[in-house]
């Protein structure tokens, strides 16, 4: 069995490990942290990634811990006036629900699947359970040979090397041969979780408890909140202009004063919500431009390592899962490795660039100052009241698109060389 060596055990690395196991690969993850774990925050799991997880047999496990918002709502920042109420498209239409989930729950269910002795949706001849080396930080990369060296001097190699090592990827630097170009987006995010029973004590916050994904829009800022963890916690993400105080870290602590200052002038309901938590985390939001290549030798990239984006479409992790599933199909196609990696890049690079650009556009729309453009935006939102629209990003079929391209390539090879062995 060929071996895939994956650097990074985040959501993207784990999704790739599951996809590759399903294609019969042996999978190994090298993870810098001392254990595979996620930060205490929620994440939206849209149907474009949900469909892949449903196909992998994970629906029941997700349902046990995730929440299904019934509608998405937009609100005005200073008086909490409602601007929209759209039902999410149905599960029947999309092939998966729209889920909100705690990151830790998400990470755990992917990890459990990757290391399980039997896959949730069995396939013929799967690869063995994932092997993970924690406390294993990669320091240098040989892309041509698919091998790495760790900070403590160990060497690992694989038939393919996958850089799923996030926004400051060392594998990305080796693949592109260029220094890191990920840069601050100009925005920061405060994130926190509030127990539902704490919110219940404040009747003016009843709207927070509804099964809704909420988006409050204000000048240079927006706030998203929704229930997670089986409706036991409310996840809140507050995005505002970066005042130069944040670092790019998943664990930097913020304070109540900082959050309230960043959202001065917002409605009393929102300020009450922001004052409830005991602990605030803050992030500098990072983005990168499209890379000139994702492939060198036996090595490729996925997730934030190659397309870190601002989180305004809630698609970063969803794209990493799409990458993992598509890469697994390419590597399982029987094409020679270099062709399989180029096929993966051919399909995934334009898709993820379109999503990155869409996320930048969403920022412009969410963060408008009051004025003509903002009034037009609000009127457009209100016009759609009750109708619901399907984001084209949710409808995208990552595996279908990958399969289509692979079939074209294989068809072309067969017609030029009927003897070609796959």
Ligand X SMILES: Cc1cc2nc3c(=O)[nH]c(=O)nc-3n(C[C@H](O)[C@H](O)[C@H](O)COP(=O)(O)OP(=O)(O)OC[C@H]3O[C@@H](n4cnc5c(N)ncnc54)[C@H](O)[C@@H]3O)c2cc1C
Angle at 103 between CA 99 and CA 109, to 5 degrees: 80
The answer to whether residue 32 forms part of the interface with ligand X (CB under 6 A) is yes
Q: Which of 76, 191, 296, 348 is catalytic?
A: 191
Q: How far is CA 175 from the centre of its chain?
A: 22
The answer to whether residue 318 forms part of the interface with ligand X (CB under 6 A) is yes
- Closer to ligand X by CB, 335 or 366: give it: 366
Choose among 56, 132, 61, 66: nearest CA to 95.
Answer: 56
- Closer to ligand X by CB, 112 or 370: give it: 112
Active-site residue 377, yes or no?
no
Q: Using CB under 6 A, which of 26, 44, 215, 300 touches ligand X? A: 44
Between the alpha carbon of residue 93 and those of residues 90, 389, 394, the distances in Å are 5, 12, 11
**Binding piece for ligand X, criterion CB under 6 A, among 255-263, 317-325, 388-396, 405-413:** 317-325
The answer to whether residue 98 forms part of the interface with ligand X (CB under 6 A) is no
The answer to whether residue 280 forms part of the interface with ligand X (CB under 6 A) is no
Q: Using CB under 6 A, which of 96, 138, 174, 295 touches ligand X? A: 138
Residues 162-191 that bind ligand X (CB under 6 A): 164-166, 170, 189, 191
Beta carbon of residue 14, minimum distance to ligand X (angstroms, whole number)? 8
Beta carbon of residue 105, minimum distance to ligand X (angstroms, whole number)? 13
Q: Using CB under 6 A, which of 101, 109, 221, 314 touches ligand X? A: 314
- By rule CB under 6 A, what count of residues binds ligand X? 34
The answer to whether residue 274 forms part of the interface with ligand X (CB under 6 A) is no
- Closer to ligand X by CB, 366 or 409: give it: 366
**Cα(139)–Cα(181) distance, integer angstroms:** 18
The answer to whether residue 104 forms part of the interface with ligand X (CB under 6 A) is no
- Closer to ligand X by CB, 269 or 304: give it: 304
**Cα(1)–Cα(46) distance, integer angstroms:** 33
* Contact footprint for ligand X (CB under 6 A): 7-13, 30-33, 43-44, 137-138, 164-166, 170, 189, 191, 237, 283, 285, 303-305, 311, 314-318, 320
Catalytic residues: 191
């Amino acid at each position: 069995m060929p071996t895939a060596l994956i650097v990074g055990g985040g959501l993207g690395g784990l999704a790739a490990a599951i996809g590759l196991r399903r294609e019969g690969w042996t999978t190994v993850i090298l993870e810098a942290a001392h254990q595979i774990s996620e930060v205490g925050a929620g994440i939206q799991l849209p149907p474009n990634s949900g469909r892949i997880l449903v196909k992998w047999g994970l629906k029941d496990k997700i349902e046990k811990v995730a929440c299904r918002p019934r509608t998405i709502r937009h609100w005005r920042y200073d008086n909490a006036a409602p601007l929209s109420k759209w039902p999410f498209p149905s599960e029947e239409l999309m092939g998966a629900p729209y889920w909100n989930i705690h990151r830790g729950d998400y990470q755990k269910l992917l990890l459990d699947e990757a290391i399980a002795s039997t896959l949730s949706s069995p396939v013929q001849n799967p690869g063995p359970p994932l092997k993970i080396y924690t406390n294993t930080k990669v320091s240098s990369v040989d892309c041509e040979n698919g091998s790495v060296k760790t900070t403590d001097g160990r060497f690992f190699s694989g038939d393919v090397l996958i850089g799923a090592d996030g926004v400051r990827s060392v594998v990305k630097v080796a693949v592109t041969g260029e220094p890191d170009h990920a840069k601050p987006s100009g925005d920061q995010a405060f994130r926190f979780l509030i127990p539902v029973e704490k919110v219940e004590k404040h009747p003016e916050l009843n709207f927070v408890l509804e099964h809704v994904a909420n988006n409050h829009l204000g000048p240079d800022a927006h706030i998203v909140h929704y229930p997670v963890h089986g409706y036991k916690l409310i996840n809140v993400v507050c995005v505002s202009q970066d005042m130069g105080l944040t670092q790019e870290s998943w664990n930097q602590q913020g304070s109540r004063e900082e959050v309230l200052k960043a959202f001065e002038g917002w409605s009393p309901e929102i300020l009450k919500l922001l004052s409830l938590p005991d602990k605030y985390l803050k992030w500098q939001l990072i983005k990168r431009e499209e890379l000139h290549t994702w492939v060198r030798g036996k090595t490729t990239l996925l997730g934030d390592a190659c397309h870190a984006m601002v989180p305004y479409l809630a698609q970063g992790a969803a794209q990493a899962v799409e990458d993992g599933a598509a890469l697994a199909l390419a590597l399982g196609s029987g094409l020679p490795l270099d062709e399989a990696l180029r096929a993966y890049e051919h399909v995934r690079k334009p898709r993820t660039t379109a999503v990155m650009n869409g996320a930048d556009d969403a920022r412009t729309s969410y963060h408008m100052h009051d004025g003509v453009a903002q009034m037009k935006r609000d009127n457009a939102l209100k016009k759609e009241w009750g109708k619901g629209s399907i984001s084209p990003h949710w409808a995208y079929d990552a595996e279908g698109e990958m399969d289509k391209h692979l079939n074209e390539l294989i068809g072309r090879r067969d017609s030029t060389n009927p003897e070609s062995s796959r």
